[in-house]
Amino acid sequence: MSERSYGRDADALRPVSIEPGFVRTATGSALISIGETRVICTASVQESVPRWLAGKGRGWVTAEYAMLPASTGERKPRDIASGRADGRSVEIQRLIGRSLRGVVDFAALGERTIYVDCDVLQADGGTRCASITGGMVALELAVLALLREGKIASSPLNGSVAAISAGVLDGQPLLDLDYAEDSRAEVDANVVMTGDGGLVEVQATAERTPLSRAHLDRLLALAETGVASLRAAQSAAVQAG
């Protein structure tokens, strides 16, 4: 196997940075960079809920995801050009929403909706994982703003989530695949975990070689170490925000 980007070991993340408050006009926001992948995540609060939740005393959290046209080098047409989001974007934004909702107490949120928007500035693998990780920071900052403003009595967050990719390339399990690795990997997995190590979702696909139980266990172990590092970065960003 060729040397990895940034000269890192098999169990190492690419350089991670999370800049809180990147979008001043959003209730909560963060710019997350993982290697060359960069995503702007914003959380916006709306004092209403979807019609099917009206009058139930519960809130809602949902997400949207998009890649800017130049994010991959070759221009990607905006979804609005076709009148609808492409299938990949819909799948990813549903994953982001499910992941974030897993740590929210909707009764404590009250009848309001928090929209988490994730816009990919530059893609080099792992955009959905970066979106979940950065989206969690934006959500936490939005909740802190609601608390400061006295709109909620207690935090509706009962945990945190982060996500990281792992895969098998040339028979070797690797953490945090960049695009060059992901495009050649025999196995590609995206793992969403809570801050205390609980699994929220695992998406694993074997491209050519069936995924063995041993390899799956190894990938999950790698992901656990990666998520621990990401959670530390999330905590630092929230404190700085």
Nearest alpha-carbon partner for 63 in 18, 17, 28, 94: 94
| Cβ-contact 140, 239 below 8 angstroms | no
Handedness of CA 179, 182, 183, 189 (dihedral sign): negative
Please report, in tens digits, the pLDDT of each residue of the chain (241 residues total). 578 999 999 999 999 999 999 999 999 999 999 999 999 999 999 999 999 999 999 999 999 999 988 888 778 777 766 666 778 889 999 999 999 999 999 999 999 999 999 999 999 999 999 999 999 999 999 999 999 999 999 999 999 999 999 999 998 999 999 999 999 999 999 999 999 889 999 999 887 778 888 889 999 999 999 999 999 999 999 999 8
Q: Where are the beta strands (DSSP E) in the chain?
A: 16-20, 28-34, 37-46, 60-67, 113-122, 161-169, 172-175, 187-194, 199-206
What are residue 166's DSSP bridge partners? 175, 189
Residue 131 token pair: 């979106």
* Predicted local distance difference test score (pLDDT) of residue 81: 61
* Predicted local distance difference test score (pLDDT) of residue 80: 67
Strand, coil or helix: what is 109? helix
* Predicted local distance difference test score (pLDDT) of residue 150: 96
Q: What is the C-alpha separation between 67 and 72, in angstroms, rounded?
A: 8
Residue 146 token pair: 């609601």
Determine the Cα angle at 217 with ends 207 and 177, to 5°.
Answer: 50
pTM confidence score: 0.94
